[in-house]
Structure 1
């Protein structure tokens, strides 16, 4: 009985590890970290072969199959949490503020962010539009800073696929292409 429980737990844990690596590799690939993704894939496939081999050699026990399936589901969540902590890549944050005279752009620049701003026209009149590029790891700090200055600001973020030109190019390393 103890051996069976050990096998179930081993399959479960190994599959969590496999799927976590798979999720991280996939996200790295999508963000352009191709060489790092390739290295992760080597470890991923070794773990996969071990886990699958354990299940395939014990297909007569439904608990092993269930452990494999549950490990898969938990592994996706764990992999996503790891990627959130790694915060790979960059984001572009667009901010629309109602008060055009607000010195939001300069305050954000003084905090070390690159900001492009312009006059925009909204349904209810003039607005100030800001575009800010920042590493994903700084995303929450940037949001907090913007909200502290203007708690009614409209904020939308996206991930750029490629960055070209501007003073940021010299600072961008790794996942986003630079030219």
Structure 2
């Protein structure tokens, strides 16, 4: 059995590119970037057909299939890393603090985060609950601020599907007004 290293590399690269693009496209769809996702799907399916035809035309060599599968696995991982770096969309963080007089809301506001706070009551008494909406690109910095100021905080994060009004709407309107003046 002859092993064509060039063909193996090509099969790996094609499937790697296809799956990386597939993963990013899927995440774009989930985050509501429909037009980008549609454009990516055109490129994605072209790469897919090319890669699949290379493997199907060379099934006599099982190494081709193994390399195709390796490209798939690496592509999924790299696609997730790319999406994580792009950090598209927003995250909603709920923080429950054991100290109702915590300085964390002020710290977060000083760092540009919009914070809604309200009193809460838990098993062990009064608590302070915070809700923070932040761009995903600022998520790690936000977690760092929370951990530094309130290491005992209970933190839950989730992705909002719809945002309207409030802190974000005002910020966007101000930014657009500044752009019009320039």
Equivalent position SS for 1:73: helix
Unaligned runs of 5+ in 2: 173-182
Over residues 61-109 of structure 1, what are the superposed CA-to-partner deviations in whole Å (9 max), with x where a residue is unaligned? 1111111111111111111111111111100000111111112112111
Runs (4+) of structure 1 moved beyond 3 Å? none
- How big is the shift at 1:170? 5.2
Please show how residues 47-62 of structure 1 align to structure 2 within 5 Å: 47-62=47-62
| Count of aligned pairs | 172
What TM-score, normalized by structure 2, do the two folds share?
A: 0.89
Aligned counterpart, 1:156:
156
Deviation at 1:112, TM superposition (A): 0.4
Name the residue aligned to 1:126. 126
- Give the deviation of 1:168 after TM superposition: 0.7
1:86 to 1:120, Cα distance in 2 relative to 1, 3 A: same
The two structures have a TM-score, normalised by structure 1, of 0.91
Aligned equivalent of 2:168: 168
Kindly state the Cα deviation for residue 163 of structure 1 after the two structures are TM-superposed: 0.7
CA distance in 1, matches of 2:169, 2:28: 20
Quote the RMSD (CA, aligned, Å).
Answer: 1.6
Structure 1 residue 171: Cα displacement: 4.9
Show structure 1 runs of 5+ residues with no match: 173-179
More divergent stretch after superposition (72-81 vs 1-10) = 1-10
1:101 is paired with a residue whose SS is coil
